[in-house]
Amino acid sequence: MGEEGPQTETVKLPLYSAEQSQIGEFEALSRVFGHEGSAATMHEVVLMQLANRRAGTVATKTRGLVSGGGIKPWRQKGTGRARAGSTRSPLWRHGGTVFGPQPRDYSYKLPRKQRAKALCLALSERAREGKLLVIERLEIERPKTKLAKALLDKLGLQHALVVVGDGEEEFIRAARNLARYKVLRVVGLNVYDVLNFAEVLLTVKAAQAIQARFQEAV
């Protein structure tokens, strides 16, 4: 992707009915779904997300944390051996570790506008590839995994991120065990997941909520 340039007012995304048949096009704001910019922005945000997910709980024992070693192994002078104060010295077998990793917090935050821009760039990239679809609503008779899979498969999706709006959370429960799909609320939408999945499916409610949230942020 190149540098920012002139953008049209709207972009057209494939629109599907609740019965999974294409019925037309959804006109989306180009500020959100037709954004252009540097891929480095997305890269920086993905690095931040991965850093924030790190547990940071790895730890090694220093000489002060290794049990034992409280007694001096031998007297200071007269033995012909080097001075030693503890059997838990890092020089000794079973001794402590020098400068080993300790628990720490790897998380950090990038500016809010940069995060919003990166998300719009990721969505726009999928839209340009023809991999971003909009569906009127996701309706199934019961919140069953089999029904959710049949609905998504009928749309021709293979490895998709599905984003639902308010009041559509029931579909999350139905599809949460599907290996090739991930369902998120709009509030949980993020750059890493958009780039990690080959396709993105939005409900009309979700698409409208995304536009309302980000049209002024980028």
User: Region 56-77: what's the mean pLDDT?
Assistant: 93
What confidence tier does 6 reach under pLDDT thresholds 50, 70, 90? very low
Quick check: 15 and 41 in contact, CB under 8 A?
no
User: Residue 47: how many CB atoms within 10 A of its CB?
Assistant: 13
What confidence tier does 3 reach under pLDDT thresholds 50, 70, 90? very low
| Mean pLDDT score across all residues of the chain | 91
For residue 5, is pLDDT > 80?
no
Look-up of token digits 């920086």:
44
- From 161, 158, 159, 157, select the one nearest 194 (Cα to Cα): 161
Which amino acid is located at 113 in the chain?
A: K
For residue 34, is pLDDT > 50?
yes
Domains detected in the chain: 10-53+110-214 (3.40.1370.10), 55-105 (no CATH)
- Distance, CA of 19 to CA of 28 (rounded, Å): 22
What single-letter DSSP state applies at residue 188? Answer: G
Cβ burial of 34 (10 Å; 0-12, 13-18, 19+) is buried
For residue 185, is pLDDT > 70?
yes
- Distance, CA of 138 to CA of 168 (rounded, Å): 8
What confidence tier does 20 reach under pLDDT thresholds 50, 70, 90? confident
- The per-residue pLDDT for 113 is 95
Bridge partners of 199, per DSSP, are 160
- The per-residue pLDDT for 215 is 80
H or E element that contains 181 = strand 181-185
User: Region 47-69: what's the mean pLDDT?
Assistant: 94
User: Residue 153: how many CB atoms within 10 A of its CB?
Assistant: 14
Quick check: 114 and 41 in contact, CB under 8 A?
yes
Quick check: 159 and 194 in contact, CB under 8 A?
no
What SS3 class is residue 96? coil
> pLDDT per residue over 74-123, tens digit each?
999 999 999 999 999 999 999 999 999 999 999 999 999 999 999 999 99
Percent of the chain residues past pLDDT 90, beyond the cut: 78
Cβ burial of 101 (10 Å; 0-12, 13-18, 19+) is exposed
For residue 2, is pLDDT > 50?
no
pTM: 0.82
> pLDDT per residue over 112-149, tens digit each?
999 999 999 999 999 999 999 999 989 888 889 999 99
- The per-residue pLDDT for 10 is 87
- From 140, 133, 138, 136, select the one nearest 201 (Cα to Cα): 133
> pLDDT per residue over 148-177, tens digit each?
999 999 999 999 999 998 888 889 999 989
Torsional sign, CA 166, 184, 129, 50: positive
